[in-house]
Amino acid sequence: MITIDYSDRRPIYEQLVDKIKNLILIGLLKPDEQLPSVRILATELSINPNTIQRAYAELERQGVIYVVKGRGNYVAQTTNLLAQHKEEIKGKIEAIVEEAKKANVTKEEVIEEVTKCYDKC
Amino acid sequence: MITIDYSDRRPIYEQLVDKIKNLILIGLLKPDEQLPSVRILATELSINPNTIQRAYAELERQGVIYVVKGRGNYVAQTTNLLAQHKEEIKGKIEAIVEEAKKANVTKEEVIEEVTKCYDKC
Amino acid sequence: MITIDYSDRRPIYEQLVDKIKNLILIGLLKPDEQLPSVRILATELSINPNTIQRAYAELERQGVIYVVKGRGNYVAQTTNLLAQHKEEIKGKIEAIVEEAKKANVTKEEVIEEVTKCYDKC
Amino acid sequence: MITIDYSDRRPIYEQLVDKIKNLILIGLLKPDEQLPSVRILATELSINPNTIQRAYAELERQGVIYVVKGRGNYVAQTTNLLAQHKEEIKGKIEAIVEEAKKANVTKEEVIEEVTKCYDKC
DNA sequence: GTGGTCTAGACCACA
DNA sequence: GTGGTCTAGACCACA
């Protein structure tokens, strides 16, 4: 279900956070479903338990999962997640547009590139 | 001309690389113009010379500047720089579009966001 | 396994890069094998860790090794390395031939020298 | 007659040495002909006189020119120069062949590359 | 423990 | 003076 890409330059815990959020977004992990325990996931992925712990802590901080002490980690309600993700994407678009403007890339060029990507890739 | 943003999480040498590329792109540094010497820039920014050295070395590797031993660092011809920068921006657009598609953001929504940013921000 | 030649005029980090590439080429270091840590290799060779770090960074930039943060450096897939090396050699042959032509050394003389070296040395 | 290539990574004095040797080899500078004075050449090339001085010193050390104190620098007899140059080229061929052998490049491949370069480039 | 960045300071080749 | 390399040692993020 989860794989680590070691050629990815981002830290492992960050990849984990993204992967799990994605599993929730695409519906493979449902609200209130229990996540694998830190130990199990650690051995499964042959990763240091500290790393899993850190990823779970970050997910909790973002309100994506909730922790029940002594029992485990559970998927939180997804209502916000989708909206959050969309906002995040919009933020990224804003950033890239600003950069494009500075580089004298016209609105038309950007839209053309967007269209091309939507159709092909 | 150049300032370091210590709240920026990226390493100093990387910020320097970007700042200098930018100064070239906007025309404040012209081809064959001499860059401030490693030592001078180091004292000016109260940064260790090694860090400046590292930034200059990276810029040379990218072909943005050229080094004449014992004389100094000079801005290279900018022909490629502009094209490279545009390609970089297109790559970023591609990445964000892929992410948007996965999140079920429609092409129309992306284009709307792009248009909004171009007009306002 | 690795030794530094202090009579060699090239910088240490460059020697290290070449030595490690060679160990991979001759098969003593295999893909996905872990390289000695920066600190360990540094003490082993009585060299400053920074110098090892620099060599490893250059090897990563060339795609010869890959880094997993917090875990270590690993040998990358060698497919390209061999092809790259052959291309490099061809480039050198081209350069020397151009020089030979300028010096009025005939093709026959060059080939004779090549043959002699292949048979003897 | 002489130009400096600042994109060449070799030090300037080394380029000067090679350029002057070349002018002698191709007959543009004849035995006992006087070389331009250090000062004149320095201003002509907008180069530090120290650099010219160093190049001339190196040429004298190699026996390519001779110095008459208070009068100037003169081209030495060329007899050896040609032979020396050929030997140098042979040495380089030897080095590249050794490298090729280590990389399992066959004699045939090397000769093919040599032939190709002689015919085309 | 592992790599990444940075400072402080030395020494060298080159101009 | 100019860049290039290296040592010694610190501190940080990550596993």
Reference C21, options C59, C72, C73; nearest CA is: C59
Q: For D21-68, how does the pLDDT look when each residue is reduced to its tens digit (9 = 90+)?
A: 999 988 899 999 999 999 999 999 999 999 999 999 999 999 999 999
Q: Is the dihedral of CA B58, B61, B64, B65 positive or negative?
A: positive
- Cβ–Cβ contact D6 with B under 8 A: yes
C9 Cβ under 8 Å from any chain D Cβ: no
**C-alpha to C-alpha distance for B69 and D85, rounded to whole angstroms:** 27
Helix (H, G, I), strand (E, B), or coil: what is residue A3?
A: coil
pTM of the model: 0.90
**The token pair that represents D113 in the structure block:** 């590359």
Give me the amino acid identity at A51. T
Spell out the per-residue pLDDT of chain B, length 121, in tens.
899 999 999 999 999 999 999 999 989 999 999 999 999 999 999 999 999 999 999 999 999 999 998 999 999 998 878 888 999 999 999 999 998 988 888 999 999 999 999 887 6
Write down the residue that tokens 């045939």 correspond to. Answer: D108
Strands (E), chain C: 65-68, 72-75
* Residues B5, B22: Cα–Cα separation, whole Å: 15
Say yes or no: C67 contacts chain D, CB-CB below 8 A: no
Please, are residues A113 and B90 in contact by the beta-carbon 8 Å criterion? Answer: yes
- Tens of pLDDT along C71-116? 999 999 988 788 889 999 999 999 999 989 888 889 999 999 999 9
Q: How confident is the model at residue D84 (pLDDT cuts 50, 70, 90)?
A: confident
Element (H, E) at B64: none
Beta-bridge partner residues of A65: A75
User: CA D42 to CA D4: how far, in whole Å?
Assistant: 12
Distances (CA, A) of C10 to B20, B71, C61, D15: 29, 21, 19, 19
By Cβ distance, the residue of A89, A118, A121 closest to B107 is: A118
Find where tokens 């992967």 sit. Answer: A19
Question: What is the full DSSP assignment across A32-88?
Answer: TPBPPPHHHHHHHHT--HHHHHHHHHHHHHTTSEEEETTTEEEE---HHHHHHHHHH
Q: B10, B24, B113: best mutation site toward chain A, by most A Cβ within 10 Å?
A: B113
Closest chain B residue to A121, measured at CA: B98
